[in-house]
Structure 1
Amino acid sequence: MKIGILTFWWSEDNYGQQLQAYALQKYLRNAGHDAFLIRYNYENDLGRTNFFVRILKALNPIILFKFFVQKKRIADSKKENELHSRHFCEFRKNYFKFSDKAYSNFEELKSNPPEADAYIVGSDQVWNFGKGNLRIFKNVIHSYFLDFGKSETKRISYAASWGGEIIS
């Protein structure tokens, strides 16, 4: 059976993300299936918050402080990765099988879905769409709820989680 897996796989510093993607694909391939990871980048599917809401948030000192703390954490992580590579790119190149096409948004997934007998979403927090306005995540939600492909294609959730106690 040909199985497309939609999960998080692109991290440069998260060992758990790499291992869960590898383990699921390896298990399915050892069971005789032609399993592959769907190369989907959700960043282009994130909607934008209203301009005035963004201005109000930018003027909030707590939100502004959190923004700069996050930017510093990302910069520090990037610097650490440059100094001490974890070799995730090489690992993915050697051990992951990917979809032929890279999908940069939900519309591409919907109009030209990867050919498969089944799609699996998971594991990890693939249904964790953060706090706040879910409208921003509309297309991401459709992607990770597997709203693409032929109707006869099986859809399976494997250990997908919300990652929170409360869903707005």
Structure 2
Amino acid sequence: MARIGIMTTQDALNNGAMLQAFALQTYLRSLGHDVEFIDFRRERKLTLRSFIAKKPQVMWYKWMDIINASTYKRKGHFGDLLNRGSETFYNLKDIQNNPPDYDIYIAGSDQIWNVSSQDTVNRAFYLDFGKKEVKRVSYAASMGQCNVPKSLDEEIHALVKILDFVSLRETKAVNYIQSLFKENKKIYHVPDPTFLLSKEEYLKFILSDDEKWKKKYAITYSLAEYDQGLRNAVDYILSVKNLNLINLRNPDTCIRFPKAENIIVTPKDWLRYVYYSQLMICCSFHAVVFSLILHKPFIVVTPYKNERINSLLTSVGLSDRVILSFDKEKINAILDEKIDWDKVDLALKQERSKGTEFLSLSLN
């Protein structure tokens, strides 16, 4: 079996990012491989705008987020599911000068190929380091909304060209990369790593006898700011279902709801809250993922069309469970519709097969 080094988001205070990394690690280990994450860290740069705001309450929240981020980084609770290599790298030059020694490099999932607001690519996540003979694979790399300026086509083509096998998570991203290569290189569409594990494999560390899980509640998990209309939509959903709200937060990124119990949770408890909830209200890709895997009724409330969520929901026939504005009629229709979980499971099984077949092809 091979020694595999994974390059992905593995140091973020983000439950979705940590769980997708954990899933890929767990699946590759089940095949007998020796798996580590390459400890590549992108330091968050704080500016004056990180500390100040026009409204005192907003400024207070910003300070709390900075303090929480520092506290949880120090505790390390968000990374304790992952096996990291001994070396830490902070930039491309570091990792090029002292490349980690593995048989295979995998550029893992999450938004590692997302073009930043500066219209640049992070070359480290394209595996632009190490000896030429090391096999290079991308598994479910995400380009986010895949809004790539034409000026980056040549650089991205050159970087992807050195990869032995290439797969991406969103249909739009697959089509974009394939267009750069025409018929000269096959680009695969595969599911997020979280789908490589079954519901039963997650339940091994979700199930609990604690009395607190017997309370009836709805969950919100949102990384994007809601306007008043969408906040009104959340209030309406809760009134229709007659549920109290628990708002799950990453330490420094998720929004707050004034009428909710706002709590910071780490990955294992995040999964438990999802599993024992009656309803999931979200605009996060991985919140939708685990709603599907764990059979949780859900509604996507989002301020913008999300390419990642749309691609996923289309694949399971549930693309109509998204609202972009406060629409009572549509909300009622979504809440009244019973999800055919057998149909979802069949679709997820087919998606999982695409992932496992790609990994079998690319790793052997």
User: What percent identity do the matched residue pairs reach?
Assistant: 35
Which letter maps to 2:145?
G
- Secondary structure, aligned partner of 2:112: coil
Residue 138 of structure 2 corresponds to residue 157 of structure 1:
yes
- The alignment covers a number of residue pairs equal to 142
How far, CA to CA, are the matches of 1:74 and 1:11 in structure 2? 18
Residue 83 of structure 2 corresponds to residue 106 of structure 1:
no
> Relative to 1, partners in 2 of residues 1:104 and 1:76: Cα closer, same or farther, differing over 3 Å?
same
Q: Which runs of 5+ in 2 are unaligned?
A: 150-364
- Secondary structure, aligned partner of 1:124: coil
Question: 2:126 aligned to 126, 145, 149, which one?
Answer: 145
Give the structure 1 partner of residue 27 of structure 2. 27
> Relative to 1, partners in 2 of residues 1:167 and 1:103: Cα closer, same or farther, differing over 3 Å?
same
How far, CA to CA, are the matches of 1:81 and 1:43 in structure 2? 12
How far, CA to CA, are the matches of 1:17 and 1:23 in structure 2? 10
> Relative to 1, partners in 2 of residues 1:22 and 1:122: Cα closer, same or farther, differing over 3 Å?
same
Give the structure 2 partner of residue 54 of structure 1. none
- Secondary structure, aligned partner of 1:18: helix
- Secondary structure, aligned partner of 1:123: coil
Which TM-score applies when normalising by structure 2? Answer: 0.34
- Secondary structure, aligned partner of 1:119: strand
Q: CA deviation at 1:43?
A: 3.8
How far, CA to CA, are the matches of 1:153 and 1:161 in structure 2? 22
Q: Give 1:4-15 correspondences, 5 Å limit.
A: 4-12=5-13, 14-15=14-15
> Relative to 1, partners in 2 of residues 1:106 and 1:33: Cα closer, same or farther, differing over 3 Å?
same
How far, CA to CA, are the matches of 2:90 and 2:73 in structure 1? 25
- Secondary structure, aligned partner of 1:157: strand
> Relative to 1, partners in 2 of residues 1:126 and 1:67: Cα closer, same or farther, differing over 3 Å?
farther
Q: Which entry has the higher C-alpha Rg, 1 or 2?
A: 2
- Secondary structure, aligned partner of 1:25: helix
Residue 93 of structure 2 corresponds to residue 92 of structure 1:
no
Q: Which runs of 5+ in 1 are unaligned?
A: 47-63
Residue 127 of structure 2 corresponds to residue 127 of structure 1:
no
Give the structure 2 partner of residue 75 of structure 1. 63
Deviation above 3 Å: which 4+ runs of structure 1?
A: 64-69, 71-76, 78-83, 85-88
> Relative to 1, partners in 2 of residues 1:81 and 1:147: Cα closer, same or farther, differing over 3 Å?
closer
How far, CA to CA, are the matches of 1:10 and 1:166 in structure 2? 25
Q: CA deviation at 1:87?
A: 9.9
Give the structure 1 partner of residue 197 of structure 2. none
Which letter maps to 2:135?
K
How far, CA to CA, are the matches of 1:142 and 1:165 in structure 2? 16
How far, CA to CA, are the matches of 2:130 and 2:114 in structure 1? 22
Q: CA deviation at 1:66?
A: 9.5
> Relative to 1, partners in 2 of residues 1:92 and 1:166: Cα closer, same or farther, differing over 3 Å?
closer
Residue 115 of structure 2 corresponds to residue 115 of structure 1:
no
Give the structure 2 partner of residue 50 of structure 1. none
Question: How large is the Cα RMSD of the aligned pairs?
Answer: 3.3
How far, CA to CA, are the matches of 1:65 and 1:87 in structure 2? 23
Answer yes or no: is the 8 Å Cα contact 2:114–2:146 preserved in 1.
Answer: no
Which structure exhibits the higher relative contact order, with contacts defined as CA atoms closer than 8 Å and separated by 6 or more residues? 1
Give the structure 2 partner of residue 39 of structure 1. 39
> Relative to 1, partners in 2 of residues 1:88 and 1:29: Cα closer, same or farther, differing over 3 Å?
farther
How far, CA to CA, are the matches of 1:155 and 1:25 in structure 2? 16
Give the structure 2 partner of residue 2 of structure 1. 3
How far, CA to CA, are the matches of 1:112 and 1:143 in structure 2? 13
Which letter maps to 1:105?
N
Which letter maps to 2:87?
K
CA-to-aligned-CA distance 1:88-145 (integer Å, 9 cap, x gap): 724533x3211111112111211111100111112010011322342xx5xxx22011
Residue 6 of structure 2 corresponds to residue 18 of structure 1:
no
